Structure 1
Amino acid sequence: MYGLAIAHYDVIVLNPNDNFVDLKMEKEWKGLLTQNIGSSSLKMVQAENVLSLQQPLQYIPKRCSNTPEEHMTESKDVAFIVHGYGGLVFMDLLVRRKWEVMNKVYAVALIDSDHHVGHQLGSDVQLLAWIKHHCREWVTSPKPLDKPAATVLKKEFPIVSAGTEEHNLAPSSSLQSIFKYLKKALKAKTTINFSRVPVVTRSSTKRKQSA
Protein backbone atom coordinates (compact mmCIF):
# COMPACT_ATOMS: atom_id res chain seq x y z
CA MET A 1 0.00 0.00 0.00
CA TYR A 2 3.00 2.29 0.50
CA GLY A 3 3.66 2.34 -3.23
CA LEU A 4 0.05 3.26 -3.90
CA ALA A 5 0.28 6.21 -1.52
CA ILE A 6 3.35 7.52 -3.35
CA ALA A 7 1.45 7.23 -6.65
CA HIS A 8 -1.44 9.21 -5.08
CA TYR A 9 -3.99 6.40 -5.44
CA ASP A 10 -7.05 6.21 -3.23
CA VAL A 11 -7.63 2.52 -2.56
CA ILE A 12 -11.00 0.83 -2.04
CA VAL A 13 -10.72 -2.87 -1.22
CA LEU A 14 -13.84 -4.73 -2.31
CA ASN A 15 -14.58 -8.19 -0.96
CA PRO A 16 -17.78 -9.40 -2.64
CA ASN A 17 -17.13 -13.00 -1.58
CA ASP A 18 -17.65 -12.51 2.17
CA ASN A 19 -21.28 -11.47 2.61
CA PHE A 20 -22.60 -13.84 5.26
CA VAL A 21 -21.81 -14.68 8.86
CA ASP A 22 -22.09 -18.13 10.42
CA LEU A 23 -24.61 -18.03 13.27
CA LYS A 24 -22.58 -20.53 15.28
CA MET A 25 -19.40 -18.49 14.97
CA GLU A 26 -21.32 -15.31 15.70
CA LYS A 27 -22.70 -16.78 18.96
CA GLU A 28 -19.25 -17.97 20.01
CA TRP A 29 -17.83 -14.49 19.35
CA LYS A 30 -20.61 -12.87 21.36
CA GLY A 31 -19.95 -15.32 24.22
CA LEU A 32 -16.29 -14.29 24.33
CA LEU A 33 -17.28 -10.65 24.18
CA THR A 34 -19.59 -10.86 27.18
CA GLN A 35 -16.79 -12.27 29.32
CA ASN A 36 -15.15 -8.88 29.05
CA ILE A 37 -18.14 -6.52 29.19
CA GLY A 38 -20.02 -7.78 32.24
CA SER A 39 -23.10 -9.75 33.23
CA SER A 40 -25.57 -7.02 32.24
CA SER A 41 -24.72 -7.56 28.59
CA LEU A 42 -24.82 -11.32 29.00
CA LYS A 43 -28.61 -11.28 29.33
CA MET A 44 -28.91 -9.26 26.14
CA VAL A 45 -26.64 -11.62 24.21
CA GLN A 46 -28.49 -14.65 25.53
CA ALA A 47 -31.78 -13.15 24.34
CA GLU A 48 -30.29 -12.50 20.90
CA ASN A 49 -29.04 -16.10 20.77
CA VAL A 50 -32.53 -17.41 21.53
CA LEU A 51 -33.89 -15.37 18.62
CA SER A 52 -31.07 -16.57 16.36
CA LEU A 53 -31.85 -20.21 17.18
CA GLN A 54 -35.35 -19.67 15.83
CA GLN A 55 -33.95 -18.84 12.40
CA PRO A 56 -33.97 -21.81 9.97
CA LEU A 57 -30.84 -20.63 8.11
CA GLN A 58 -27.31 -21.26 9.33
CA TYR A 59 -25.98 -18.08 7.72
CA ILE A 60 -27.25 -14.51 7.91
CA PRO A 61 -26.23 -11.52 5.75
CA LYS A 62 -23.63 -9.18 7.18
CA ARG A 63 -24.67 -5.62 7.86
CA CYS A 64 -23.97 -3.18 5.01
CA SER A 65 -23.02 -6.08 2.74
CA ASN A 66 -24.88 -7.01 -0.43
CA THR A 67 -24.57 -9.64 -3.11
CA PRO A 68 -21.34 -9.71 -5.16
CA GLU A 69 -23.10 -7.92 -8.03
CA GLU A 70 -24.58 -5.24 -5.71
CA HIS A 71 -21.37 -4.80 -3.75
CA MET A 72 -19.36 -2.92 -6.32
CA THR A 73 -19.58 0.84 -6.79
CA GLU A 74 -17.34 3.49 -8.28
CA SER A 75 -16.87 7.26 -8.60
CA LYS A 76 -14.71 9.51 -10.82
CA ASP A 77 -11.49 8.41 -12.58
CA VAL A 78 -11.63 4.86 -11.28
CA ALA A 79 -9.46 1.89 -12.21
CA PHE A 80 -10.45 -1.67 -11.34
CA ILE A 81 -8.18 -4.60 -10.55
CA VAL A 82 -10.25 -7.78 -10.52
CA HIS A 83 -9.19 -11.38 -9.96
CA GLY A 84 -11.09 -14.54 -10.86
CA TYR A 85 -14.82 -14.15 -10.14
CA GLY A 86 -14.24 -10.43 -9.70
CA GLY A 87 -14.03 -10.16 -13.49
CA LEU A 88 -17.52 -11.62 -13.85
CA VAL A 89 -18.81 -9.20 -11.21
CA PHE A 90 -17.28 -6.22 -13.00
CA MET A 91 -18.84 -7.20 -16.32
CA ASP A 92 -22.19 -7.47 -14.55
CA LEU A 93 -21.67 -3.97 -13.15
CA LEU A 94 -20.78 -2.70 -16.63
CA VAL A 95 -24.03 -4.09 -18.05
CA ARG A 96 -26.25 -2.87 -15.19
CA ARG A 97 -24.70 0.61 -14.88
CA LYS A 98 -23.47 1.02 -18.42
CA TRP A 99 -23.31 4.79 -18.82
CA GLU A 100 -21.93 5.51 -15.38
CA VAL A 101 -19.13 2.96 -15.72
CA MET A 102 -18.14 3.97 -19.25
CA ASN A 103 -17.91 7.63 -18.25
CA LYS A 104 -16.02 7.15 -14.98
CA VAL A 105 -13.77 4.08 -15.29
CA TYR A 106 -10.62 4.69 -17.28
CA ALA A 107 -9.01 1.24 -17.06
CA VAL A 108 -9.71 -2.31 -15.93
CA ALA A 109 -7.01 -4.87 -15.17
CA LEU A 110 -8.40 -8.40 -15.09
CA ILE A 111 -6.38 -11.24 -13.59
CA ASP A 112 -7.25 -14.77 -14.71
CA SER A 113 -10.86 -13.63 -14.91
CA ASP A 114 -13.98 -15.83 -14.90
CA HIS A 115 -16.07 -13.42 -16.98
CA HIS A 116 -17.75 -14.38 -20.25
CA VAL A 117 -18.17 -11.49 -22.67
CA GLY A 118 -20.53 -13.35 -25.00
CA HIS A 119 -22.96 -14.29 -22.24
CA GLN A 120 -22.72 -11.09 -20.21
CA LEU A 121 -22.33 -8.32 -22.80
CA GLY A 122 -24.02 -10.02 -25.72
CA SER A 123 -23.76 -8.06 -28.96
CA ASP A 124 -23.87 -4.57 -27.43
CA VAL A 125 -21.59 -2.67 -29.81
CA GLN A 126 -20.90 0.16 -27.37
CA LEU A 127 -19.89 -2.16 -24.54
CA LEU A 128 -17.70 -4.27 -26.83
CA ALA A 129 -15.96 -1.15 -28.13
CA TRP A 130 -15.46 0.15 -24.58
CA ILE A 131 -13.84 -3.00 -23.17
CA LYS A 132 -11.57 -3.24 -26.22
CA HIS A 133 -10.01 0.10 -25.32
CA HIS A 134 -10.24 0.03 -21.51
CA CYS A 135 -9.56 -3.56 -20.47
CA ARG A 136 -6.49 -5.75 -20.34
CA GLU A 137 -6.21 -9.22 -18.84
CA TRP A 138 -3.26 -11.03 -17.28
CA VAL A 139 -3.78 -14.80 -17.55
CA THR A 140 -1.93 -17.78 -16.13
CA SER A 141 0.56 -18.90 -18.73
CA PRO A 142 4.01 -20.53 -19.08
CA LYS A 143 5.07 -17.48 -21.08
CA PRO A 144 7.12 -14.65 -19.51
CA LEU A 145 5.26 -11.74 -17.90
CA ASP A 146 3.46 -9.40 -20.32
CA LYS A 147 3.97 -11.61 -23.36
CA PRO A 148 0.84 -11.88 -25.57
CA ALA A 149 -1.26 -14.84 -24.45
CA ALA A 150 -4.53 -14.54 -26.35
CA THR A 151 -6.82 -17.54 -26.33
CA VAL A 152 -9.51 -18.68 -28.75
CA LEU A 153 -12.24 -18.04 -26.16
CA LYS A 154 -10.95 -14.64 -25.06
CA LYS A 155 -9.96 -12.11 -27.68
CA GLU A 156 -12.17 -9.08 -26.99
CA PHE A 157 -9.27 -7.03 -25.55
CA PRO A 158 -5.48 -7.41 -25.06
CA ILE A 159 -4.48 -10.51 -23.09
CA VAL A 160 -0.97 -11.04 -21.73
CA SER A 161 0.78 -13.53 -19.51
CA ALA A 162 0.71 -13.08 -15.73
CA GLY A 163 4.15 -14.66 -15.55
CA THR A 164 2.92 -17.73 -13.66
CA GLU A 165 0.80 -20.82 -14.19
CA GLU A 166 -0.68 -20.64 -10.68
CA HIS A 167 -4.07 -18.89 -10.37
CA ASN A 168 -3.45 -17.80 -6.77
CA LEU A 169 -0.01 -16.38 -7.61
CA ALA A 170 -1.20 -14.40 -10.64
CA PRO A 171 -2.08 -11.17 -8.72
CA SER A 172 1.31 -10.86 -6.99
CA SER A 173 3.19 -11.92 -10.10
CA SER A 174 1.55 -9.33 -12.35
CA LEU A 175 0.90 -6.47 -9.91
CA GLN A 176 3.85 -4.26 -10.88
CA SER A 177 2.98 -4.65 -14.54
CA ILE A 178 -0.64 -3.83 -13.81
CA PHE A 179 0.20 -0.56 -12.09
CA LYS A 180 2.40 0.46 -14.99
CA TYR A 181 -0.58 -0.18 -17.23
CA LEU A 182 -2.92 1.85 -15.02
CA LYS A 183 -0.47 4.73 -14.82
CA LYS A 184 -0.08 4.80 -18.59
CA ALA A 185 -3.84 4.55 -19.11
CA LEU A 186 -4.53 7.45 -16.76
CA LYS A 187 -1.92 9.61 -18.45
CA ALA A 188 -3.38 8.90 -21.88
CA LYS A 189 -6.95 9.14 -20.67
CA THR A 190 -9.31 10.93 -23.00
CA THR A 191 -12.76 11.93 -21.87
CA ILE A 192 -15.45 10.37 -24.02
CA ASN A 193 -18.96 11.46 -23.21
CA PHE A 194 -21.06 8.35 -23.62
CA SER A 195 -24.65 9.50 -23.47
CA ARG A 196 -27.99 7.88 -24.00
CA VAL A 197 -29.67 8.19 -27.38
CA PRO A 198 -32.32 10.92 -27.11
CA VAL A 199 -35.82 9.55 -26.72
CA VAL A 200 -38.05 10.45 -29.65
CA THR A 201 -41.28 12.04 -28.46
CA ARG A 202 -44.30 13.41 -30.29
CA SER A 203 -43.38 17.00 -29.38
CA SER A 204 -39.83 16.62 -30.66
CA THR A 205 -41.10 15.05 -33.89
CA LYS A 206 -43.53 17.96 -34.45
CA ARG A 207 -40.75 20.52 -33.84
CA LYS A 208 -38.55 18.72 -36.38
CA GLN A 209 -41.34 18.67 -38.98
CA SER A 210 -42.24 22.35 -38.46
CA ALA A 211 -38.60 23.39 -38.80
Structure 2
Amino acid sequence: MLTRPCTFILFILWITMAQIPGQEDKEKTTALKDLLSRIDLDELMKKDEPPLTFPKTLEEFEYTFNEQGQLRHTTTGEAFVFNAREDLHRWNQKRYEALGEEGYGVMVLNPNENHLEVERPAKPTPLPSSEASDEPAEKRECKHDRESKKKRDFYEKYRNPQKESETEQIPIRENGSPEEHLLYVWDHFVSNAAARNVFIVAHSYGGLSLVELMCQREAQVKDRVCAVAMTDSVHNIWHQDASKSIQEWLQQHCRNWVSSPEPLDTPVEPMLPDCPRLSAGTERHELTSWRSFNSIFQFFSKALQTGDEYEESSNTVTTRSSHRTKHEHNHDD
Protein backbone atom coordinates (compact mmCIF):
# COMPACT_ATOMS: atom_id res chain seq x y z
CA MET A 1 0.00 0.00 0.00
CA LEU A 2 2.95 2.36 0.52
CA THR A 3 4.30 1.99 -2.99
CA ARG A 4 1.46 3.75 -4.75
CA PRO A 5 1.74 7.12 -2.91
CA CYS A 6 5.53 7.14 -3.43
CA THR A 7 5.12 6.49 -7.12
CA PHE A 8 2.55 9.26 -7.40
CA ILE A 9 4.81 11.75 -5.61
CA LEU A 10 7.78 10.90 -7.81
CA PHE A 11 5.63 11.24 -10.92
CA ILE A 12 4.52 14.75 -9.93
CA LEU A 13 8.13 15.72 -9.21
CA TRP A 14 9.26 14.51 -12.63
CA ILE A 15 6.60 16.57 -14.38
CA THR A 16 7.57 19.70 -12.44
CA MET A 17 11.26 19.30 -13.28
CA ALA A 18 10.46 18.76 -16.92
CA GLN A 19 8.51 22.02 -17.04
CA ILE A 20 11.27 24.20 -15.57
CA PRO A 21 13.76 23.97 -18.53
CA GLY A 22 10.92 24.69 -20.97
CA GLN A 23 9.99 27.86 -19.15
CA GLU A 24 13.60 28.98 -19.02
CA ASP A 25 14.01 28.46 -22.79
CA LYS A 26 10.87 30.44 -23.42
CA GLU A 27 12.12 33.30 -21.26
CA LYS A 28 15.49 33.23 -23.03
CA THR A 29 13.81 33.30 -26.44
CA THR A 30 11.66 36.25 -25.39
CA ALA A 31 14.71 38.11 -24.07
CA LEU A 32 16.62 37.39 -27.31
CA LYS A 33 13.75 38.71 -29.44
CA ASP A 34 13.59 41.83 -27.32
CA LEU A 35 17.34 42.36 -27.76
CA LEU A 36 17.19 41.89 -31.53
CA SER A 37 14.29 44.34 -31.80
CA ARG A 38 16.49 47.01 -30.26
CA ILE A 39 19.33 46.47 -32.75
CA ASP A 40 19.26 48.63 -35.89
CA LEU A 41 20.57 46.25 -38.53
CA ASP A 42 21.16 49.10 -40.97
CA GLU A 43 23.34 50.90 -38.45
CA LEU A 44 25.17 47.65 -37.73
CA MET A 45 25.91 47.20 -41.44
CA LYS A 46 27.12 50.79 -41.73
CA LYS A 47 29.81 50.22 -39.10
CA ASP A 48 32.62 49.10 -41.40
CA GLU A 49 31.36 50.17 -44.83
CA PRO A 50 32.86 53.05 -46.85
CA PRO A 51 30.91 56.31 -47.29
CA LEU A 52 27.97 56.13 -49.66
CA THR A 53 29.34 58.77 -52.02
CA PHE A 54 29.37 57.84 -55.70
CA PRO A 55 30.01 59.55 -59.05
CA LYS A 56 27.21 61.57 -60.59
CA THR A 57 27.65 60.61 -64.26
CA LEU A 58 28.27 57.45 -66.25
CA GLU A 59 31.61 58.81 -67.41
CA GLU A 60 32.74 59.40 -63.83
CA PHE A 61 31.85 55.76 -63.08
CA GLU A 62 34.20 54.92 -65.99
CA TYR A 63 31.47 53.04 -67.83
CA THR A 64 30.01 53.49 -71.30
CA PHE A 65 27.82 51.68 -73.82
CA ASN A 66 29.62 50.03 -76.73
CA GLU A 67 28.34 49.74 -80.31
CA GLN A 68 26.29 46.67 -79.33
CA GLY A 69 24.51 48.65 -76.61
CA GLN A 70 26.35 46.79 -73.82
CA LEU A 71 27.56 48.53 -70.66
CA ARG A 72 31.33 48.15 -70.46
CA HIS A 73 34.17 49.60 -68.38
CA THR A 74 36.05 52.24 -70.36
CA THR A 75 39.48 50.91 -69.35
CA THR A 76 39.13 47.15 -68.95
CA GLY A 77 36.19 46.59 -71.31
CA GLU A 78 34.62 44.28 -68.73
CA ALA A 79 30.93 44.10 -67.93
CA PHE A 80 29.55 45.75 -64.81
CA VAL A 81 30.47 43.91 -61.60
CA PHE A 82 27.91 44.12 -58.83
CA ASN A 83 30.13 42.83 -55.99
CA ALA A 84 32.76 45.53 -56.31
CA ARG A 85 33.63 45.00 -52.62
CA GLU A 86 33.26 41.66 -50.88
CA ASP A 87 31.01 41.34 -47.81
CA LEU A 88 29.57 44.83 -48.40
CA HIS A 89 26.22 43.97 -49.93
CA ARG A 90 24.52 47.20 -48.80
CA TRP A 91 27.33 49.35 -50.24
CA ASN A 92 27.32 47.37 -53.51
CA GLN A 93 23.56 47.80 -53.78
CA LYS A 94 23.78 51.57 -53.23
CA ARG A 95 26.57 51.79 -55.82
CA TYR A 96 24.42 49.86 -58.29
CA GLU A 97 21.48 52.20 -57.70
CA ALA A 98 23.71 55.26 -58.12
CA LEU A 99 24.97 53.93 -61.45
CA GLY A 100 21.42 53.44 -62.63
CA GLU A 101 20.57 57.07 -61.93
CA GLU A 102 22.00 59.00 -65.31
CA GLY A 103 19.73 61.94 -64.09
CA TYR A 104 17.06 61.25 -66.77
CA GLY A 105 13.36 60.58 -66.45
CA VAL A 106 12.23 58.94 -69.68
CA MET A 107 8.94 59.58 -71.47
CA VAL A 108 8.23 57.48 -74.57
CA LEU A 109 5.62 58.81 -76.99
CA ASN A 110 3.60 56.74 -79.44
CA PRO A 111 2.45 59.31 -82.01
CA ASN A 112 1.60 56.72 -84.68
CA GLU A 113 -1.26 55.19 -82.71
CA ASN A 114 -4.08 57.61 -83.42
CA HIS A 115 -6.99 55.17 -83.30
CA LEU A 116 -8.05 51.86 -81.78
CA GLU A 117 -9.10 48.90 -83.84
CA VAL A 118 -12.03 46.93 -82.45
CA GLU A 119 -13.81 43.94 -83.89
CA ARG A 120 -16.98 44.86 -85.69
CA PRO A 121 -20.03 42.90 -84.50
CA ALA A 122 -20.94 40.12 -86.89
CA LYS A 123 -24.02 40.64 -89.00
CA PRO A 124 -26.91 38.34 -88.06
CA THR A 125 -27.41 35.44 -90.46
CA PRO A 126 -30.84 35.64 -92.11
CA LEU A 127 -33.19 32.76 -91.39
CA PRO A 128 -34.06 30.47 -94.34
CA SER A 129 -37.34 31.32 -96.03
CA SER A 130 -40.23 28.90 -95.71
CA GLU A 131 -40.95 29.37 -99.40
CA ALA A 132 -37.51 28.20 -100.48
CA SER A 133 -38.84 25.00 -101.98
CA ASP A 134 -41.11 26.98 -104.30
CA GLU A 135 -38.27 29.03 -105.79
CA PRO A 136 -37.50 28.66 -109.49
CA ALA A 137 -34.52 26.52 -110.51
CA GLU A 138 -32.48 29.54 -111.61
CA LYS A 139 -32.92 31.13 -108.22
CA ARG A 140 -31.93 27.96 -106.41
CA GLU A 141 -28.74 27.73 -108.50
CA CYS A 142 -27.80 31.31 -107.60
CA LYS A 143 -28.42 30.50 -103.96
CA HIS A 144 -26.20 27.42 -104.27
CA ASP A 145 -23.41 29.57 -105.69
CA ARG A 146 -23.71 32.01 -102.78
CA GLU A 147 -23.51 29.17 -100.26
CA SER A 148 -20.45 27.80 -102.02
CA LYS A 149 -18.83 31.23 -101.81
CA LYS A 150 -19.58 31.36 -98.08
CA LYS A 151 -17.85 28.01 -97.63
CA ARG A 152 -14.82 29.22 -99.55
CA ASP A 153 -14.69 32.36 -97.42
CA PHE A 154 -15.02 30.22 -94.30
CA TYR A 155 -11.97 28.13 -95.20
CA GLU A 156 -10.10 31.25 -96.33
CA LYS A 157 -10.32 32.59 -92.77
CA TYR A 158 -8.20 29.70 -91.56
CA ARG A 159 -5.69 30.12 -94.35
CA ASN A 160 -5.53 33.89 -93.71
CA PRO A 161 -6.35 34.66 -90.03
CA GLN A 162 -6.25 38.41 -90.69
CA LYS A 163 -9.51 38.09 -92.59
CA GLU A 164 -11.19 36.21 -89.75
CA SER A 165 -13.02 39.26 -88.48
CA GLU A 166 -13.77 42.73 -89.72
CA THR A 167 -12.58 45.67 -87.63
CA GLU A 168 -13.49 49.29 -87.32
CA GLN A 169 -11.31 52.21 -86.22
CA ILE A 170 -12.21 54.36 -83.24
CA PRO A 171 -10.27 57.68 -83.16
CA ILE A 172 -8.42 58.58 -79.94
CA ARG A 173 -9.56 61.88 -78.48
CA GLU A 174 -7.15 64.77 -79.14
CA ASN A 175 -4.70 62.39 -80.86
CA GLY A 176 -5.94 62.42 -84.42
CA SER A 177 -2.41 62.74 -85.88
CA PRO A 178 1.23 62.48 -84.73
CA GLU A 179 1.45 66.27 -84.56
CA GLU A 180 -1.69 66.49 -82.44
CA HIS A 181 -0.43 63.69 -80.19
CA LEU A 182 2.86 65.49 -79.49
CA LEU A 183 1.06 68.76 -78.80
CA TYR A 184 -1.27 66.99 -76.34
CA VAL A 185 1.63 65.33 -74.49
CA TRP A 186 3.54 68.61 -74.35
CA ASP A 187 0.60 70.60 -72.94
CA HIS A 188 -0.50 67.99 -70.39
CA PHE A 189 2.74 66.35 -69.29
CA VAL A 190 6.04 67.86 -70.45
CA SER A 191 5.14 71.47 -69.70
CA ASN A 192 4.00 70.43 -66.19
CA ALA A 193 7.02 68.25 -65.42
CA ALA A 194 9.49 69.22 -62.71
CA ALA A 195 12.48 68.55 -64.99
CA ARG A 196 14.59 71.64 -65.53
CA ASN A 197 16.25 70.42 -68.74
CA VAL A 198 14.32 68.53 -71.39
CA PHE A 199 16.05 66.50 -74.10
CA ILE A 200 14.21 65.14 -77.13
CA VAL A 201 15.05 62.26 -79.47
CA ALA A 202 12.84 62.51 -82.57
CA HIS A 203 12.97 59.68 -85.11
CA SER A 204 11.70 59.96 -88.70
CA TYR A 205 8.26 61.66 -88.69
CA GLY A 206 8.90 62.62 -85.06
CA GLY A 207 11.22 65.36 -86.34
CA LEU A 208 8.40 66.79 -88.43
CA SER A 209 6.08 66.69 -85.41
CA LEU A 210 8.69 68.49 -83.31
CA VAL A 211 9.03 71.32 -85.84
CA GLU A 212 5.25 71.62 -85.87
CA LEU A 213 5.29 71.80 -82.07
CA MET A 214 7.82 74.62 -82.22
CA CYS A 215 5.65 76.49 -84.69
CA GLN A 216 2.82 76.41 -82.13
CA ARG A 217 4.75 76.54 -78.81
CA GLU A 218 8.02 78.23 -79.80
CA ALA A 219 8.62 80.17 -76.58
CA GLN A 220 7.81 77.19 -74.34
CA VAL A 221 10.05 74.79 -76.27
CA LYS A 222 12.98 77.19 -76.24
CA ASP A 223 12.54 77.72 -72.51
CA ARG A 224 12.40 74.02 -71.54
CA VAL A 225 14.29 72.05 -74.19
CA CYS A 226 18.05 71.88 -73.81
CA ALA A 227 18.87 69.88 -76.97
CA VAL A 228 17.20 67.86 -79.71
CA ALA A 229 18.61 64.77 -81.43
CA MET A 230 16.84 63.80 -84.63
CA THR A 231 17.45 60.45 -86.31
CA ASP A 232 16.74 60.34 -90.04
CA SER A 233 14.11 63.04 -89.61
CA VAL A 234 11.74 63.85 -92.49
CA HIS A 235 10.93 67.39 -91.39
CA ASN A 236 11.01 70.32 -93.81
CA ILE A 237 11.33 73.81 -92.35
CA TRP A 238 10.17 75.45 -95.58
CA HIS A 239 7.03 73.39 -96.09
CA GLN A 240 6.21 73.74 -92.41
CA ASP A 241 6.65 77.51 -92.44
CA ALA A 242 9.21 77.52 -89.64
CA SER A 243 10.21 81.06 -88.70
CA LYS A 244 13.76 82.32 -88.95
CA SER A 245 14.08 82.28 -85.17
CA ILE A 246 13.11 78.58 -85.13
CA GLN A 247 15.66 77.83 -87.84
CA GLU A 248 18.38 79.59 -85.85
CA TRP A 249 17.44 77.71 -82.67
CA LEU A 250 17.55 74.36 -84.48
CA GLN A 251 20.96 75.25 -85.89
CA GLN A 252 22.32 75.75 -82.37
CA HIS A 253 20.47 73.12 -80.34
CA CYS A 254 19.68 70.31 -82.78
CA ARG A 255 21.59 67.55 -84.60
CA ASN A 256 20.18 65.11 -87.15
CA TRP A 257 21.85 61.67 -87.43
CA VAL A 258 20.86 60.49 -90.92
CA SER A 259 21.19 57.18 -92.76
CA SER A 260 24.51 57.21 -94.59
CA PRO A 261 27.31 54.80 -95.61
CA GLU A 262 29.83 57.13 -93.97
CA PRO A 263 31.26 56.33 -90.52
CA LEU A 264 29.33 57.45 -87.43
CA ASP A 265 29.36 61.21 -86.76
CA THR A 266 30.77 62.08 -90.19
CA PRO A 267 29.31 65.47 -91.26
CA VAL A 268 26.77 65.17 -94.07
CA GLU A 269 25.93 67.99 -96.44
CA PRO A 270 22.76 69.68 -95.15
CA MET A 271 19.74 69.80 -97.43
CA LEU A 272 18.20 72.82 -95.69
CA PRO A 273 19.62 75.52 -93.39
CA ASP A 274 18.10 74.13 -90.20
CA CYS A 275 20.37 71.82 -88.18
CA PRO A 276 23.70 70.05 -88.79
CA ARG A 277 23.44 66.54 -90.26
CA LEU A 278 25.72 63.69 -89.16
CA SER A 279 26.03 60.12 -90.35
CA ALA A 280 24.35 57.51 -88.16
CA GLY A 281 26.84 54.93 -89.43
CA THR A 282 24.15 52.88 -91.18
CA GLU A 283 22.07 53.04 -94.33
CA ARG A 284 19.09 51.37 -92.65
CA HIS A 285 16.51 53.94 -91.61
CA GLU A 286 15.18 51.91 -88.67
CA LEU A 287 18.66 51.47 -87.14
CA THR A 288 19.69 55.14 -87.07
CA SER A 289 18.55 55.72 -83.47
CA TRP A 290 20.31 52.65 -82.12
CA ARG A 291 23.57 53.17 -84.01
CA SER A 292 23.85 56.82 -82.91
CA PHE A 293 22.88 56.10 -79.28
CA ASN A 294 26.26 56.93 -77.73
CA SER A 295 26.77 60.00 -79.90
CA ILE A 296 23.35 61.32 -78.93
CA PHE A 297 24.03 61.11 -75.21
CA GLN A 298 27.44 62.67 -75.62
CA PHE A 299 25.71 65.51 -77.46
CA PHE A 300 23.19 65.80 -74.61
CA SER A 301 25.92 65.80 -71.95
CA LYS A 302 27.85 68.52 -73.74
CA ALA A 303 24.70 70.61 -74.20
CA LEU A 304 23.87 70.24 -70.52
CA GLN A 305 27.38 71.23 -69.48
CA THR A 306 27.32 74.24 -71.79
CA GLY A 307 23.93 75.26 -70.42
CA ASP A 308 25.12 75.02 -66.82
CA GLU A 309 28.21 77.10 -67.61
CA TYR A 310 26.03 79.70 -69.34
CA GLU A 311 23.66 79.80 -66.37
CA GLU A 312 26.54 80.25 -63.90
CA SER A 313 27.98 83.00 -66.10
CA SER A 314 24.59 84.74 -66.25
CA ASN A 315 24.21 84.58 -62.47
CA THR A 316 27.68 86.03 -61.99
CA VAL A 317 27.00 88.92 -64.36
CA THR A 318 23.69 89.64 -62.66
CA THR A 319 25.30 89.66 -59.23
CA ARG A 320 28.06 92.03 -60.31
CA SER A 321 25.58 94.29 -62.05
CA SER A 322 23.39 94.41 -58.96
CA HIS A 323 26.40 95.15 -56.77
CA ARG A 324 27.58 97.91 -59.10
CA THR A 325 24.13 99.47 -59.22
CA LYS A 326 23.89 99.41 -55.42
CA HIS A 327 27.37 100.93 -55.06
CA GLU A 328 26.59 103.73 -57.53
CA HIS A 329 23.32 104.43 -55.77
CA ASN A 330 25.08 104.74 -52.40
CA HIS A 331 27.76 106.95 -53.94
CA ASP A 332 25.14 109.32 -55.37
CA ASP A 333 23.52 109.59 -51.99
Q: Same fold (TM over 0.5)?
A: yes
**Which one of 95, 100, 105 corresponds to residue 10 of structure 1?**
105
1:127 aligns with: 246
Is the contact between residue 115 and residue 176 of structure 2 (CA under 8 Å) also seen in structure 1? Answer: no
1:109 aligns with: 229
1:143 aligns with: 262
Is the contact between residue 139 and residue 161 of structure 1 (CA under 8 Å) also seen in structure 2? Answer: yes
Counterpart AA for 1:165: E
Is the contact between residue 91 and residue 121 of structure 1 (CA under 8 Å) also seen in structure 2? Answer: no
Give the superposition deviation at 1:61.
Answer: 2.2
1:68 aligns with: 178
Query: Does the residue aligned with 2:106 lie in a helix, a strand or coil?
Result: coil
Give the superposition deviation at 1:117.
Answer: 1.0
Greater relative contact order (Cα < 8 A, sep 6+): 1
Seen in structure 2, the aligned counterparts of structure 1 residues 90 and 2 have a Cα distance that, compared at 3 Å, is farther
CA offsets, 1:9-49, max 9 Å, x none? 00000010012111218x7xxxxxxxxxxxxxxxxxxxxxx
Is the contact between residue 121 and residue 127 of structure 1 (CA under 8 Å) also seen in structure 2? Answer: no
Please provide the CA RMSD for this pair. Answer: 2.8
Seen in structure 2, the aligned counterparts of structure 1 residues 121 and 186 have a Cα distance that, compared at 3 Å, is farther
1:59 aligns with: 169
Is the contact between residue 121 and residue 128 of structure 1 (CA under 8 Å) also seen in structure 2? Answer: no
Q: Distance in 1 between matches of 2:236 and 2:100?
A: 33
Counterpart AA for 1:177: S
Give the superposition deviation at 1:125.
Answer: 2.3
Counterpart AA for 2:208: L
1:95 aligns with: 215
Is the contact between residue 174 and residue 180 of structure 2 (CA under 8 Å) also seen in structure 1? Answer: no
Give the superposition deviation at 1:130.
Answer: 0.9
Q: Distance in 2 between matches of 1:157 and 1:63?
A: 33
Runs of 5+ unmatched residues, structure 1: 28-56, 192-211
**1:187 is the counterpart of 2:187:** no
Runs of 5+ unmatched residues, structure 2: 1-68, 72-98, 122-166, 312-333
Q: Distance in 2 between matches of 1:2 and 1:160?
A: 23
Q: Distance in 2 between matches of 1:121 and 1:160?
A: 24
Q: Distance in 1 between matches of 2:274 and 2:209?
A: 17
Query: Does the residue aligned with 1:89 lie in a helix, a strand or coil?
Result: helix
Counterpart AA for 2:108: V
Q: Distance in 2 between matches of 1:5 and 1:92?
A: 34
Seen in structure 2, the aligned counterparts of structure 1 residues 155 and 133 have a Cα distance that, compared at 3 Å, is same
Query: Does the residue aligned with 2:274 lie in a helix, a strand or coil?
Result: coil
Give the superposition deviation at 1:70.
Answer: 2.3
Give the superposition deviation at 1:6.
Answer: 3.0
Give the superposition deviation at 1:5.
Answer: 4.2
Counterpart AA for 1:71: H
Is the contact between residue 247 and residue 273 of structure 2 (CA under 8 Å) also seen in structure 1? Answer: no
Give me the identity figure in percent.
39
Is the contact between residue 265 and residue 281 of structure 2 (CA under 8 Å) also seen in structure 1? Answer: yes
Q: Distance in 2 between matches of 1:119 and 1:64?
A: 24
Which protein is bigger by CA-based radius of gyration?
2
**Which one of 145, 154, 177 corresponds to residue 272 of structure 2?**
154
Counterpart AA for 1:58: E
Give the superposition deviation at 1:127.
Answer: 1.2
Give the superposition deviation at 1:155.
Answer: 3.7
Query: Does the residue aligned with 1:118 lie in a helix, a strand or coil?
Result: coil
Q: Which moved more, 1:113-122 or 1:101-110?
A: 113-122
Q: Distance in 2 between matches of 1:181 and 1:5?
A: 20
1:164 aligns with: 282
